[in-house]
């Protein structure tokens, strides 16, 4: 049984989302510059995501226990039902739960949503090139590096290169058939990739 589950955002989630958004340590992991957001603005943002989820789906990550505590959120963005494409909007997880298991299970649930339920053919992910952990996680789950967008993101007073990855529907089902998404296989790939990146 998974340790987490995903659900739609609720207005009360604004309080904890606002805490994460204003946490400078968490914001170091995202591709945008840190900017203080008030709780009132956060509530309006959450409300907008609750009302319009055709092109962008935002989901709360919750513990699968009696507390059902929200420990993060994740999104699928720019959904195009004609081209059957979508883009991963990133994952925000409370630092207490950034042990790898939660992130691993979120990945499983999101890929199931994207390919099994939304019928997407191409799922794209981007990260800053210096975010090695994000790159390792994508590569360990079958994403292919397609290229680098040079100086694509302006953050903290300078420009950063951005890596573009994609996972195709055929890749996903191929990996599923070979049981490449098991926790043991994932952990083995992460260890191997981490070693390779450390040598670079």
Average confidence score pLDDT of the chain: 93
pLDDT of residue 36: 83
pLDDT of residue 78: 96
Instruction: Place 136 in a pLDDT band, splitting at 50, 70 and 90.
Output: very high
Phi, psi of 36 (to 5 degrees): -65, 135
Q: Is the pLDDT of residue 126 over 90?
A: yes
pLDDT one-digit tens code per residue, 76-123:
999 999 999 999 988 999 989 887 789 999 999 999 999 999 999 999
Structural domains of the chain ordered from first start:
4-199 (3.40.630.30)
Judge contact between 185 and 179, C-beta under 8 A: yes
Question: How do strand 144-155 and strand 158-168 relate by DSSP bridges?
Answer: antiparallel
């Amino acid at each position: 049984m998974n340790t987490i589950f995903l659900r739609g955002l609720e207005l009360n989630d604004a309080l904890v989302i606002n805490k994460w958004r204003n946490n400078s340590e968490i914001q170091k992991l995202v591709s945008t510059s840190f900017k203080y957001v008030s709780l009132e603005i956060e509530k309006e943002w959450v409300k907008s995501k609750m009302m319009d989820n055709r092109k962008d789906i935002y989901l709360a990550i919750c513990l699968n226990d009696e507390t059902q505590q929200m420990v993060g959120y994740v999104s699928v963005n720019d959904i195009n039902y004609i081209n059957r494409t979508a883009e991963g909007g990133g994952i925000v997880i409370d630092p207490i739960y950034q042990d790898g298991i939660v992130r691993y299970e979120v990945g499983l649930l999101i890929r199931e949503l994207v390919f099994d339920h939304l019928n997407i053919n191409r799922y794209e992910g981007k990260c800053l090139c210096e975010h090695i952990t994000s790159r390792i996680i994508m590569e360990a789950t079958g994403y292919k590096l397609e290229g680098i967008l040079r100086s694509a993101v302006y953050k903290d007073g300078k420009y950063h290169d951005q890596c573009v990855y994609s996972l195709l529907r055929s890749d996903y089902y191929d990996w599923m058939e070979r049981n490449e998404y098991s926790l043991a296989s994932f952990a083995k790939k992460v260890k191997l990739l981490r070693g390779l990146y450390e040598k670079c």
